Amino acid sequence: MSIARRNLLQDKTRLGLSVLGVALAVMLILVLSGFLDGVYKQAASYLNNTPGSVVVVQDGVSNFYATTSLLPPGTLEAARKMEGVAGIIPVTSQIVIFEMHGRKQAAQVVGYDPALGGGPWSLAQGHGIQGDSELVVDRVMAEAHGIKLGDRLTLLGREFTVVGSSRETAMWAASVLFVRKSALESLLKAPGSTSMLLVNPSGGIAPEALRDRLRSDLPGTNVLLKSEVIANDKQLFARIYNGPLLLMVAIAFLVGALVVGLVIYTATVERQREYGALKAIGAANSVLYKVITTQALVASITGSVAGVALAFAVGQLIMALRPQFLVAIETRAVAWALVAGLVMALLGALFPARTVARLAPADVFRR
């Protein structure tokens, strides 16, 4: 509409500020949601890339991260004899705190048997574990601390030689490191101990059926689908991050709506005589509402599209400067952000529309 276009273009600086406000709000919403989705992806990375549909852990344990699990003796042997089991990957896992360059560093150390699997799935450098004194570190950790192949690191009082660096194992809180299972058992002073079994069902056996069978035949254990463990890890991190991040998203949304509302309201007040003249010649309130809503939609849609592009650029910048953070902007999040931009427009148009509705032509021309 020509009136809406003229109102917007009358002050290009004000229009630019409106678009910028929405763009920054949408960008912040997407980057924050991308950070949260990135945390979930990082938390699920090990299980998603390791074979096995069913997970056996200690009774009372339901997560991979931030837990200590110790299966009862004989659990592995009993599971191997069960009908419907095609293969088992035994893993020992433990959170370890060690010192690097004078700072405490946390890591999820995974002990695996190279002959059975459960180790790094994508190597950036070097090779997998072959001996008990070898270690594969996360690539991001290695780059951050200047760790090179052949360097020696001390874990729980024992020295290991770095023989490889792995991709997709970084987390800002605790990256994943890999050693031989027997080496981690020795570090924990628990020979033969196992934290987790990753079980593959035989052909024709549903993972749910195998889970139920293992539950009934393996005392002292908790048996879950791998997808259930991943969901539990997601809930664990959600309890930490969801509250603060959702609060920041809500603030960004309100700021965007207020910026649009302020700009459109200012333009409406400045052009009250025009709106009064339109009402005097018979223009209905619905026509004026359409003018105001069009102004808000143009500013919000332009800002939303710019905000999406800005979010991808900022996400890449964050990952380049701090590679331990993963900003995973999903299509679903983009769709929600665009919807949020439209809602900002509608909320931003609400107060100016009420101002026009209460406008009396006679009052305008008496001013």
Residue 62 located in a structural domain: no
| pLDDT for position 230 | 94
Residue 228 located in a structural domain: no
Angstrom distance (rounded) from CA 77 to CA 80: 5
The last residue of a domain, from among 159, 188, 219: 219
Angstrom distance (rounded) from CA 141 to CA 197: 27
Residue 58 located in a structural domain: no
SS (H, E, C) 79-111: HHCCCCEEEEEEEEEEEEEEEECCEEEEEEEEE
Residue 344 located in a structural domain: yes
Whether 32 and 127 share a structural domain: no
Question: Amino acid identity of 124?
Answer: A
Whether 174 and 274 share a structural domain: no
| pLDDT for position 52 | 93
Whether 241 and 314 share a structural domain: yes
Low-confidence ranges of the chain (pLDDT < 70): 1-12, 14, 264, 267-285, 287-288, 353, 355-367
Whether 202 and 240 share a structural domain: no
Alpha helices (H) in the chain, listed in sequence order: 2-10, 12-48, 75-80, 139-145, 181-187, 207-217, 226-270, 272-280, 285-321, 331-357, 361-366
Sign for the pseudo-dihedral over CA of 144, 146, 149, 155: negative
CA 34 to each of CA 167, 227, 304, 314: distance values in angstroms, whole numbers, following the listed order: 20, 21, 16, 11
Whether 168 and 30 share a structural domain: no
Whether 246 and 171 share a structural domain: no
pTM: 0.79
Question: Amino acid identity of 49?
Answer: N
Whether 80 and 172 share a structural domain: yes
Scanning the structure block, which residue is given the tokens 């902007």? 329
Q: Which residues pair with 103 in a beta bridge?
A: 100
Residue range(s) defining the domain that contains residue 266? 2-43+235-366
Residue 227 located in a structural domain: no
The last residue of a domain, from among 219, 252, 277: 219
Whether 213 and 251 share a structural domain: no
Residue 56 located in a structural domain: no
| pLDDT for position 267 | 67
Surface-to-core class of residue 69, CB atoms within 10 Å of its CB (0-12 exposed, 13-18 middle, 19+ buried): buried
Residue 240 located in a structural domain: yes
316: left (phi over 0), alpha (psi -120 to 50) or beta: alpha
Whether 351 and 239 share a structural domain: yes
The encoded tokens of residue 298 equal: 């143009």
The encoded tokens of residue 24 equal: 């920054």
pLDDT in tens, 125-176: 999 999 999 999 999 999 988 999 999 998 888 999 999 999 999 887 788 9
Residue 225 located in a structural domain: no
Whether 78 and 214 share a structural domain: yes
Whether 35 and 152 share a structural domain: no
Number of structural domains, the chain?
2
* Residues 6 or more apart in contact with residue 176 via CB below 8 angstroms: 45, 46, 107, 108, 109, 110, 138, 166, 169
The last residue of a domain, from among 189, 219, 249: 219
pLDDT in tens, 87-97: 999 999 998 88
> Is residue 345 within 8 Å of residue 299, measured between CB atoms?
yes
| pLDDT for position 2 | 60
Whether 349 and 300 share a structural domain: yes
| pLDDT for position 359 | 62
